[in-house]
Chain A
Amino acid sequence: MGKVALITGASSGIGRELARLHAEKGGDVILVARRGEVLRQLKDELETAWGVQAQVIEADLVDEKAPRMIFEAVEASGWEVEYLINNAGFGGRGKFHERDWQDERDMMQVNVVSLTALTHLFLPQMVARNSGRILNVSSTASLLPGPMKAVYYASKAFVTSFSNAIAEELHDTRVTVTALLPGATDTEFAARSGMDKTRLFDNAASARSVALDGYQP
């Protein structure tokens, strides 16, 4: 069995490319996202092309119970997660006071709370084994405040700060934590969030190139 990577938001964009890269290197994958049918197609693709094993876990990280459900499903399978890739996230554009509160709340749940919960669930095993890598997909938006996307930028600031902080806490282990900060990237996420309409996305990078930067064996 190859080293196992659990990837959230694996159904499209950077997450899907990270899954492909890991499989190309002979690693097994646990694919997590809402769209089960898309994940099952990706599972078939990876198993056929690279001879690896893939698991699908359908989960919506807006649901606060999702991280625990994912952890328990992995435990039940007997697989040991060596790479945790917290990629799922979404954004939204508009003045904060005019945006729908539920959308903002859901964004914080997925981008911040679920990412932190999954890290809290899987990290103790990595520390006990003295082996593991966590890749948290943040954004260059984490480096400054973001008028018109206030909650999104703030949520990514959390991801980078949190990742850097726990990386230092783990300095005496062989567990690493990396924050990946993509700039404008051409993904479904960008289109869905209305971000691709801004001039920031005129020269957006491909999801594959960003995934390659994040994944260096």
Chain B
Amino acid sequence: MMAGKLTVISGMSFGQRLALHLVPFTPKKVLLREVRKVQGG
């Protein structure tokens, strides 16, 4: 186990990691709509 590491992100492509880093800069309503679509809603 990674001693001392707070958070380990795993199983994501480069593109998905990049998208994740953009989350704080994405307007909330846009973000919610995109997540809803991805989740099949």
Please give the residue numbers on chain A whose beta carbons come within 8 Å of chain B beta carbons, in ascending order.
83, 93, 95, 133, 135, 140, 143-149, 160, 163-164, 167, 176-185, 197-200, 203-205, 209-210, 213-217
Residues of B within 8 A of A163 (CB): 6-7
* Given A146-B35, A178-B1, A180-B8, 8 more pairs with CB closer than 8 A: A140-B20, A144-B23, A176-B2, A176-B4, A179-B8, A198-B38, A199-B38, A210-B10
Q: Could you say which of B11, B16, B40 contacts A213, with CB atoms under 8 Å apart? A: B11
Q: Could you say which of A149, A160, A215 contacts B1, with CB atoms under 8 Å apart? A: A215
Which residues between 1 and 41 of chain B lie within 8 Å of chain A, taking CB atoms?
1-13, 16, 20, 23, 31-32, 35-36, 38-41
Q: Are B39 and A181 in contact (CB under 8 A)?
A: no
Number of A-B contacts (CB under 8 A): 95
Residue of A nearest to B31 (CB): A144
Q: Could you say which of B1, B11, B23, B35 contacts A83, with CB atoms under 8 Å apart? A: B1
Please give the residue numbers on chain B whose beta carbons come within 8 Å of chain A beta carbons, in ascending order.
1-13, 16, 20, 23, 31-32, 35-36, 38-41
Most chain A CB within a 10 A radius of its CB, from B2, B4, B6, B11: B11
Q: A183-B10, A185-B11 are in contact. Are A135 and B38 (CB under 8 A)?
A: no
Q: Are B10 and A145 in contact (CB under 8 A)?
A: no
**Contacts A/B (CB < 8 Å), 14 sampled:** A140-B16, A140-B20, A147-B39, A148-B40, A149-B39, A163-B6, A179-B7, A183-B9, A183-B10, A198-B38, A200-B38, A213-B11, A214-B1, A215-B1
